[in-house]
Amino acid sequence: MARDERDVLEAIERRRRRPPRKLLDERITLSHGAGGKSTHALVEALFLPELRNPLLEPLADSAIVESNGARLAFSTDSYVVKPLFFPGGDIGELAVNGTVNDLSVAGARPLCLSAGFIVEEGYSAADLRRIAASMARAAAAAGVAVATGDTKVVERGKADGVYVNTSGIGLLERELDLRPARVRPGDRVLVSGTIGDHGMAIMIARGELELEVELASDTAPLASLVETLLDATGGVRVMRDPTRGGVATVLAELALAAEVGIAIDERALPIRPEVNGACEILGIDPLYVANEGKLLAVVAPEEADAALAAVRSHPLGLDARLIGEVRDEPPGLVLLETAFGGSRVVDMLAGDPLPRIC
């Protein structure tokens, strides 16, 4: 490579590693809610400077709170999915599973949740009951209680049906260090099943695309899958729940945080043919499409087979695969080895191809 091309690429990497110092946008756009680069910029350049404290600083899925010898994980998430009911689930189930999963991938056993509802004036009480019932079923399945809640109603047109916020507390019972810094070259990357199902199911359910595809969201609580994995092996370095921004964004974040390279094998990616086909038509890369019931784990190389076997033994992990490995080079970057025989960069999501997916 010509000397100056290398300089340009190094300048880009330096810039990528540097947290954004100021928000370049004057107004908030849908991109800021997509979970990719713009969301990072918003959180790191606007919220973090205002709210900075040691609990928030790691900007992880859950904050870790220690008090009187107990270690708790604390997390929150809001749900604005459209449509509210979709194949494979609804906003209620999604709101429970999403927060349960944020706690689970922090290595915590979820204990209880709060539920906040923002309801649009005129919304059907019967549908609200369906959402509440679905939350109850999801909470029971995940072994958590909805322990407290809140309701607000806004004028017609000021919200779109129902928005739900859940917060959750989990107990960290295991002596585990799951910080990205523990990721080492040679580690393997495991994904618990097919990717992109949730995002594409929502897009199809909106009916705007007029694609006839049978596809259901994968929304599911990962608590027992995580238990199974952690019981089977002590080799888990880090776990993630690849929701908005997809597997690509989560891996890119990990590579940056751990200052390692990650190589993914395109041929090893588990993707349903329906998801692949719909993505192909829409020009969307399934690596960037949201999942709501998938676990992504980095495991020590000598424990990779045991981890894979454990995940596959669980009903939610039947399609699990090892999809790649951690390398020294290039630090901070994810590379995909294509089925075609070439390679390419996999960066964080830029822009917002699929709004209001969760």
Report the residue number, 12 or 154, with the smaller CB distance to other proteins.
12
Cβ 208 to other proteins, closest distance in Å? 7
Report the residue number, 112 or 350, with the smaller CB distance to other proteins.
350
Cβ 269 to other proteins, closest distance in Å? 13
Q: Is residue 264 helix, strand or coil? A: strand
Radius of gyration of the chain (CA): 20
Report the residue number, 227 or 347, with the smaller CB distance to other proteins.
347
Positions that interact with other proteins (CB under 8 A): 1, 4-6, 8-9, 11-12, 15, 24-31, 36-38, 41, 208-209, 273, 276-277, 280, 282-283, 329-330, 333, 335, 338-345, 347, 350-351, 353
The helix-helix angle for 223-232 and 91-104 (nearest 10°) equals: 20
Cβ 172 to other proteins, closest distance in Å? 35
Cβ 265 to other proteins, closest distance in Å? 11
Report the residue number, 6 or 137, with the smaller CB distance to other proteins.
6
Cβ 62 to other proteins, closest distance in Å? 26
Cβ pair 173, 103 in contact under 8 A = no
Cβ pair 221, 142 in contact under 8 A = yes
Query: At 305, which helix (H) or strand (E)?
Result: helix 304-312
Cβ pair 250, 262 in contact under 8 A = no
Report the residue number, 260 or 310, with the smaller CB distance to other proteins.
260
**Alpha carbon 266 to chain centroid distance?**
20
Nearest residue to 217 (alpha-carbon basis) of 30, 85, 320, 105: 85
Q: Is residue 7 helix, strand or coil? A: helix
